[in-house]
Amino acid sequence: MIKHNVLLYLRGIKKNTSSFLINLIGLSTGLVCVLLVYLWVSDELAMDRFHENEERIYQVFRNIPDGQGEISTYRSNSSLLLTALQEEVPEVEKAVAVYRLEAGSIVETEQKKTSAAGYFASEDYFEVFSIPLVAGDKSRILNDMNSVAISRKMANSLFGSAVNPIGKSVTIKNGEEVLEAVFTVNGVYEIPRNSSESFDFVIPYKKFLQDRNPDYIHWESNSSMMFALLRPDVHIDRLNAKMDRFIKNKDDDNRASVFLARYSDNYLNGRFENGERAGGRISYVYLFSLVAVFILLIACINFMNLSTAKASKRLKEIGIKKVIGANRKTLIFQFLVESVLLSSFSLLMAYLLAWLLLPWFNNLTGKQLFLELSPKLVFALIAATLFTGLLSGSYPALYLTQFNPIKVLKGKISSSFGELMLRKGLVVFQFCISILLIVAVSVIYMQLDFIQSKNLGYNKDNIIAFDRQDGLMNNMETFLEEAKKLPGVVNASYMQGSMTNFNNSSGGHSWPGQTEASKNLTFRHAHVGPNFIETMGIEMKEGRSYVNEKSNNGSKIILNETAVKLMGLENPIGTVIDMRGPNREIIGVVKDFHIQSLYDEIAPMALLCRTQWVGTLLVKIKAGREKETIASLSSLHEEFNPGLGFDFRFLDTQYQQVYQAEQRVATLSKYFAGMAILISCLGLFGLAAFSAERRRKEISIRKVLGQTVSQVTVMLSGEFMKLVFISMLIALPVAYLLATNWLSQFAYRISLHAGYFIGAGVVAILVALLTVGSQAMNAANKNPVYALKDE
Amino acid sequence: MLLELKNIFKWVNSGGQRIFLLKDINLSVEEGEFISVMGPSGSGKSTLLNVIGMLDTFDEGEYHFLDESVHTLKEKYRSNLYKEYIGFVFQSYHLLDDLTVYENLEMPLLYKKYKGTERKAMVGDMLDRFSIVGKKDLFPAQLSGGQQQLVGVARALIGKPKLILADEPTGNLNSQQSEEIMGLFKRLNEEDNVTIIQVTHSEKNAAYGSRIINLLDGRMI
């Protein structure tokens, strides 16, 4: 029986190639989306979950009221917390402290010098985090203050893969005072693919504590990250309730309260709002899963619509089978087998397509996904096939097999009202999704464009940035003087941190006229060079910059507009404020500029002229002379840092990278929207063809009675245009709400106007019109005599 | 007795009025009979045939088929009953266009769950008997109307039914083809003792039968 049904099915395909292809293309496109998104989502979900005790690894976070009524959450903590956790909190089995060296450490052997990123980590690091060791003993690797563990990549780059790095000496330097010492390699590790963190070397935290200026070891100096491996069965809420006043109990004036949160959640739920986890990448995981399922659903709807619309062709078969003895169950089974067969074909095609598209998809998402037929994937594939097959086959199977065979054979089945409504409803649903996606694409693109072109308050063009390291540690200012003399260099300066991701802050300052509320005001706090304001093209609002203030810069300060406003200063220039160090006199106020992502409001900011903690050099280059200027900068850099490559980046590129996630979302939504529209139109195409076929007689009679071809075309297209129109009515308000919601997370955003929505509607209508119109015209142009003769 | 209809009524409601399709039908059929049902269009011939074939229901009355009371049977048993004992022949043949002659003949056996070897033998037998062995791999569209109906009759017979119901079996055929099919029916009736009830418009075809039932407006006259 299966054989006969398969034969019937295959021969049916031969006869109805077009609807078979529509279904095949639609379903395989839907399945490709699902497959690729599945790979991506499972990779995202697996991030940082490879640690053996992942469920018990927690990170300590610190909440502080920010003085503007909100709570800010920080990952950094005082180094004193390590021993406190180890000794005073019985729930903690092991505690680990990590100090992240800012990028740009120098690792040197006699033969080689390279730039690297590294950690100081306390003894139990490799016990708590399951980072596999290629060589060395994980319980002892961080015990000796003069030893270092390096990544396999670093080992290969320093010594080559043939040499055993254990026992070799390396010199590691970072920053002005943080580090400069010789270490012996006693471990090599391999960072797993699913790790969100990546570092080239790890040195013992003891070394950090030893070298640290004792002035900075107190409860207010937050430099390190703290992790805890909790004992099994610890109730985290109860522990956090206990931890709330942990720091205040040790340090009276401290406003911080600490809490523990699962470490592996950081990757997907990395944002904190008002002291609580507030999502993050997880929203993209949900978003894309949802979109992929919707696209598959659209394809399934095509299948349902086409198979019920073409029912008349199948009904005869069903009638005959019923008469010669088939019962309904066997028929339903037959239909389901057919649709599962189709979805299996589609799956094969989807798998092939996914395999072809994977390099492109990896490039798009910045991942290294691969198609490996693991049991999990095979299971997912089978599940997807069955789901697709059964879902799309269910309605036709139940619907087509319910009729009385005699009526069927006499052709007396007419489409019922409910059935027509259902079919139309499904089309409306398809177009709603498509329109939503079109709006999404245009809104995301407009917002990104807005971000790219927004006046940031500084000029990011033709500025290159590079790390202060090695020879520049001591000779930075000489280097800059030399650099400024190079032809093609407009100006040069330096700063602490980075222009695109700045997170140093300070608080507890006081000034005349300070109110109780503004006492807690937290400032972005940057050390910059004298030429910083000029190099970056930041505008002064009042006062003067550091350029003309060579001497005594140590007792001066420049603030931004927001700071002045929040501090409530009427005449800021000349006011002296206490920065918990030397008192500083305000000499200038700059107009606000954006140094954080546009998700956040501009924060109050203080610019101090100091070289301490400065990590980045900035050079402004004359437009059009980039190539030769960079070449001469590079050779100057070589003079100061022999053997170290000149590793620079353009500020505008760096700026774009801040919004990389959004760029990816934009590109992905573009393709998703394209697919949704394509599949919806395929379905519409099939339905229009069928409708034209069904109304052949009606069309003929109308034409005989005098309707023109164009009138008939309009009538036929109108039937479908109405549906697209209804979809617009439903989808556009929803799109508006979603767009408003998405944009609301940006502090700086485009204002929505009707254009985006009307545009999406017009696109949907045009595409639908093209699809349906051709069919309608075709039908309207037929000679009526033939259709009427048939009767 | 093969089957018996007692006071069968069937109606539809249209615009508040009850329109009778069958009105007080009483009919008993013995095994081996060859009955022709005649009457003008709309007189209820096909409806009667479908009621007998259990493809259609009725509103009042009793129907006994081989001592089973059909009117009290559940759908499932009813369909088992007709699957077992009744074969249908249609005016427009109703073969499955996408299956070959051989596969069309095999189809009913599949639903009766015959084994592969048995099916092969039964289909071969049928092909032989109707001299259509040479056509077994052709599709219906490649056959003439007469040949298609021949396959239709063969398909009805293959499950060895006691009763064949034929709804204007020669309606789409020319006179020569008609005679062949009617001759075939007569032989089946006489040689194999198959009971046949046919609906026909033609006096000539009706004459092949042993009894004629005339219907008018749903009544037997």
Alpha helices in chain B (DSSP H): 45-52, 75-85, 101-111, 116-129, 145-158, 175-191, 203-206
Q: Do A325 and B99 touch (CB under 8 A)?
A: no
The answer to whether A327 contacts B79, with C-beta atoms less than 8 Å apart, is yes
**Beta carbons of A320 and B95 less than 8 Å apart:** yes
Q: Nearest CA of chain A to the CA of B89: how many Å? A: 10
Q: Find the closest chain A residue to B86 by CA distance.
A: A324
DSSP letter at A510 equals B
Mean pLDDT across B124-150: 91
Distance from the B108 Cα atom to the nearest Cα atom in chain A, whole angstroms: 5
Q: How far apart are CA A167 and CA B4, in angstroms?
A: 105
| CA separation for the pair B163, A261 (Å, rounded) | 79
Closest approach of A16 to chain B, Cα-based (Å): 12
Residues in A closer than 8 angstroms to B101, CB to CB, are none
Within 8 A of A407 by CB-CB distance, chain B residues are none
Cβ contact, residue pair B56, A404, below 8 Å? yes
Q: How many angstroms from the chain centroid is the CA of residue A176?
A: 35
Separation of alpha carbons A201 and B25, rounded Å:
99
Indicate the residue of B50, B90, B108 with minimum beta-carbon distance to A325.
Answer: B108
Is beta strand B163-167 parallel, antiparallel or unpaired with respect to B86-89? parallel
How many residue pairs bridge chain A and chain B with CB atoms within 8 Å of each other? Answer: 55
Interchain contact A279–B (C-beta under 8 A): no
The amino acid that residue A160 corresponds to is G
Q: Say what the pLDDT of residue A746 is.
A: 84
Place of tokens 């937290």: A522
CA A427 to chain centre: 32
The C-alpha angle A247, A250, A253, rounded to 5 degrees, equals 75
- End-to-end CA, chain A: 35
Nearest CA to B122 among B99, B154, B163? B154
Structure tokens at B71: 């009117």
Tokens, residue A150: 């390096």
Low-confidence stretches of chain A (pLDDT beneath 50): 791
Taking only residues 283 to 322 of chain A, the set having a beta carbon closer than 8 angstroms to any beta carbon of chain B reads 316-317, 319-321
Nearest CA among A520, A108, A40 for reference residue A287:
A40
Residue entry with tokens 């599945």: A38
Produce one character per residue of A85-116: b if its CB has 16 or more CB atoms within 10 Å, e if not. Answer: bbeebebbbbbbbbbbbbbbbbbbeeeebbbb
Q: Is the dihedral of CA B76, B82, B87, B91 positive or negative?
A: negative
pTM across the whole model: 0.79
B120 at interface of A, judged by CB pairs closer than 8 A: no
How far is Cα A568 from Cα A148, in angstroms, rounded to an integer? Answer: 50
Rounded to the nearest angstrom, the gap between the alpha carbon of residue A82 and the centroid of all alpha carbons in its chain is 33
Measured in angstroms, the CA of A424 and the nearest CA of chain B are apart by 30
Q: Which amino acid is at A242?
A: K
Pairing, β B60-65 against β B3-14: antiparallel
Min Cα distance A324 → chain B (Å) is 5
Cβ separation A325–B83 shorter than 8 A:
yes
Tell whether A11 is within 8 A of chain B (Cβ).
yes
Secondary structure class of B208 (helix, strand, coil): coil
Contacts of residue A8 in chain B, CB cutoff 8 Å?
96, 98-99
With contact defined as beta carbons under 8 Å apart, do B186 and B218 qualify? no
Q: Do A41 and A366 form a contact (C-beta atoms < 8 A)?
A: no
Number of C-beta neighbours around residue B100 at 10 A: 20
Which residues, other chains included, contact B45 with Cβ-Cβ below 8 Å and sequence gap of 6+?
B37, B38, B39, B199, B215
Tens digit of each residue's pLDDT (9 = 90 or more) over B25-68: 999 999 999 999 999 988 999 899 989 988 888 999 999 998 88
B89 beta partners: B166
Return the C-alpha torsion angle A357, A362, A363, A368, nearest 10.
Answer: -140
What stretch of H or E contains A293?
helix A282-309
Cα–Cα distance, A761 to A436 (Å, whole number): 10
Token reading at A700 = 């003929």
Nearest C-alpha neighbor of A444 from the set A434, A452, A455: A452
Give the ranges where A454-542 is alpha helix by DSSP (H).
Answer: 472-485, 532-536
Q: Do A320 and B96 touch (CB under 8 A)?
A: yes
User: CA A611, CA A463: separation in Å to the nearest integer?
Assistant: 20
Q: Note the pLDDT of residue A789.
A: 57
Provide the token pair at A288: 């894309």
A753 touches chain B (CB under 8 A): no
Q: Do B159 and B87 contact (CB within 8 A), yes or no?
A: yes
Q: Which of A614, A595, A702, A697 is nearest to A654 (CA)?
A: A595
B94 touches chain A (CB under 8 A): yes
CA-based nearest residue to B172, from B144, B193, B140: B144
Contact of B96 with B104, CB cutoff 8 Å? yes
**Could you tell me if A12 lies within 8 Å of chain B, comparing CB atoms?**
yes
- Using a CB–CB cutoff of 8 Å, tell me whether A331 touches chain B: no
Across A362-366, A552-556, B171-175, B209-213, the highest mean pLDDT is recorded for B209-213
Task: List the single range of A198-202, A418-422, B13-17, B186-190 with lowest mean pLDDT.
Answer: A418-422
% of chain B at pLDDT higher than 70: 100
Residues in chain B: 221
Do residues B206 and B212 make contact, with C-beta atoms less than 8 angstroms apart?
yes
| CB neighbour class for A39 (10 Å; exposed up to 12, middle 13-18, buried from 19) | buried
ipTM over 0.90: no
Q: What residues of B are in contact with residue A405 (Cβ under 8 Å)?
A: 55
The DSSP bridge pattern shows strands A605-609 and A648-650 to be unpaired
Smallest CA–CA distance, residue A331 to chain B, in Å, is 11
Cα–Cα–Cα angle for B88, B135, B158, nearest 5°? 30
Cα–Cα distance for residue pair A77/B145, rounded to 1 Å: 92
Its sign, for the CA torsion A247, A253, A207, A506, is positive
Write the CB contacts of A535 (distance below 8 Å, at least 6 apart in sequence): A463, A490, A491, A492, A493, A529, A618, A619, A620
Strand, helix or coil at A499?
coil
**In CATH terms, is domain B3-220 a member of 3.40.50.300?**
yes
Query: What are the distances in angstroms from CA B57 to CA A39, A331, A404?
Result: 55, 21, 10
Question: End-to-end alpha-carbon separation of chain B, Å?
Answer: 22
- Residue spans of the domains in chain A: they are 1-47+270-414, 57-267, 470-643
Interface of A with B in 403-422 (CB under 8 A): 404-406, 409
Q: Is A326 near chain B, with CB under 8 Å?
A: yes
Q: Tell me what pLDDT residue A492 has.
A: 93
Q: Minimal Cα–Cα distance from A321 to chain B, Å? A: 8
Plot region of A488 (φ>0 → left; ψ -120 to 50 → alpha; else → beta): left
What are the DSSP E strand ranges found in A66-126? 71-74, 76-78, 92-100, 105-108, 113-116, 118-121
Q: Which of A147, A88, A84 is nearest to A120 (CA)?
A: A147
Q: What is the DSSP letter of A592?
A: P
> Is B50 in contact with A406 (Cβ distance < 8 A)?
yes
The overall longest dimension of chain A from CA atoms, in Å, is: 105
